[in-house]
Structure 1
Amino acid sequence: MSDKEWVSWFRQSSPYINAHRKKTVVLTLCGEALDDENLINIVHDIALLNSLGVRLVVAFGARPQIDSRLAEAGIKSDFHLGLRVTHEAMLEHILEVSGRLRAKLEAKLSTGIVNSPMHGAKIRVCSGNFVMARPVGVLEGTDLCHTGKVRRIDSEAITSLLDSGAVVLLPSLGYSVTGDAFNLSYEDVASTAAAALKAEKLILLTDKSGIEDGSGCLIRELTIADGRELLAASEQLDSLARAQLKAACEACANGVKRSHIISYKSNGAILEELFTRDGGGTMVSSDDYEQVRPAEIGDLNGIMELIEPLEEQGVLVRRSRELIETEIGYFTVDERDGAIIGCAALYPFPEDQAGELSCFAVRADYRRHGRGDTILEAVEKRARSLGFSRLFVLTTQTEHWFIERGFEKSSKDELPGHKQSNYNLQRNSKVFVKYL
């Protein structure tokens, strides 16, 4: 990236920096991530987020480290329904591993040497008995012993630490009122904590770019329903992907706005996910991250930014800002994460039971991804609701796109009378119509 590109990216990230300041983000580090060479970059990014005012909770796992430690001790692990059966003899080794990993993270987050991204950070790292747990109990005849589930998160204590600017660490351990310790799933800890803290986001780091479909392609976005359907029907998800997708869906179902599953191997993946519009992993959303809706007056600037370049190229007829402001009620927009990435207007000719599709634009970096089809579908639905029997469009450069979507070539003589009288002979636009 050149210096100018970096400056441009940094400026464009400003709205996201402002949006995340003072917001709570729960981040997970699986045991594999803690042993990966990219961990140091993740630590640097945690420090950067802390300096930007993001309230960070880091939940970490220890599965491979526990496997290794138990093997060293000559203890065989048994698993039942995907859960480790945690016998009493295992517990001291699990506590040892968890304490060692916590100390490792605390040490790395305490770095402050000159010429390091951590210089001057002075991060306060806190951990404690914030997770209350209960035993999973006996499942299908098997007692899972000290394997537990999260019962409650001490959100008041964690919030107090976050208010002071600290980074809070949550190991995959929980405690009970009887004084027992339990081995927990870090995904369960993270998901429950995110919901209890009313976190803005849950970010889960995995060994892949995100959740992949059967062909190995990244799935960029999922609703809660999509995610649960994938969990129920898909066999291609490995145990890690399954656990993380389940945690992401549960967090969103319990009030977290968005969950992101990204790669711990990718340098800067956390920053990319938080400070760019599209991110780089899989997002699970409980709300309409992208929505096609009627335009509002606040969308005017976004619409102008879309259509002005196309007006310069002669693709669209020039319209003044004042004209679009008065006609804003005719517009439909495609909004993605607060930005207008597409728009179209439906001008009514009720006496002819017809509507004109006009001012149709999709931002360049979102073309060829079906956004135009989504907007067209919304406009057609609106036209039908108004009782129109046909939709017509005048175009100079995109005739094939409309033909592929059911529009037929027509002539200016078939236009509504008022439109015929205003037809611009100099532009010599071609007329296409679609019967609804």
Structure 2
Amino acid sequence: MPIMGPSTPAAGDLARLRQHNERVVLAAVRASGTPRVAQIVADSGLGRTAVEDVLATLVARRWLVEERAAIRGRGRPARSYRFRAEAGCAVGLDIGAYSVRAVLTDLAGRVLATTRRPVSPQTRRRDRLAAADRALADCTRDAGVPERRVWAVGAGTTGLVDRAGRVVRANAIPDWAGADLAGHLGRDGRLVLVDNDSQLAALAEQRRGVATEAADLVLLHAGRRTGLALVLDGRLRRGAYGAAADLSALPGLSWEPAIEYLHAVAPADVPVADRAERAFAAARDGDRRARTAVRRYARAMALAAATAIAVVDPRMLVLGGAFSQAADVLLEPLGAELARLCPQVPELRASTLGADCVALGAACLALDAVDERLLAADRGPLPALTARSV
């Protein structure tokens, strides 16, 4: 039996080095799409022999697929590799007062299915949780994906959420405080991440929306409920207790009651859920009373947004939420009010993600958790993916 000298690496060190190299190569392929071996070598910083050895292992374990270019002329065709994004899925949920939305994506973030189930503020907690379960099942069914392939679930919900995934406060839903979303959604052993809906809408804008190039942004989440959220240095800012930018409890701002300005100009027979949209439509048609109501609403929104802008000095303010669809009548008075309140007004943009913005942000959160688990060097060797597991 050979005796290990001081320069001979121990078996444990070699195993850890191997695991490290696997994660580095996997990360390089995921980041580059379908890179060739030379690019993987350059991006990973590893030697070509080590890279090729790891690539062969990851292909055998079904994490990567080797793709060969068509042969042109002499020599071997160039080999490239892609990450098997179809190996698993992530689900993003938006659990709100009036609806539960779900988005199913593959591991590259490509949307495979979306769905919506209606609820109301009076819906009981167990029924709202059941609606979330059904929305997830709807998405997997529509995409033809077995639920076992859902590796992670992200959930956004109205109110304040603690780090354990439990709702601490939810003014919009009477019995929602205390709901253990992480416990309910993670009962099958999945990764589950839970956060406030406005914060996840901001994450979606920074990752997939109009603010992908903005390192710092404030999101004004305007709809039936109003919220603010911050992205700083490209990262979602939750704060110490998950309440960063939550100004709803400050009575001096009066932004929560501001929607009544819009409701007041809609006919009495219009359902409450449709009154703001009716007010925006009337303002769009030139109705003076509706335009005044929109300006009053914008003034209240601007006061809250200016408070965050003064602290953060962001490059961009994004108007998100359901009311972003009324940007043609809302963005101009909002900008005018901000110009009156702020020494420097950031660039204003309206979201283009639509009603699925929170669910998309929740899916981004879930995919981040998948990456963290896959690429963490202390997780042991990457397991082989069997036909059943994918």
TM-score, structure 1 length as denominator? 0.23
Q: Which has the higher contact order (CA 8 A, sep 6+)?
A: 2
Structure with the larger strand share: 1
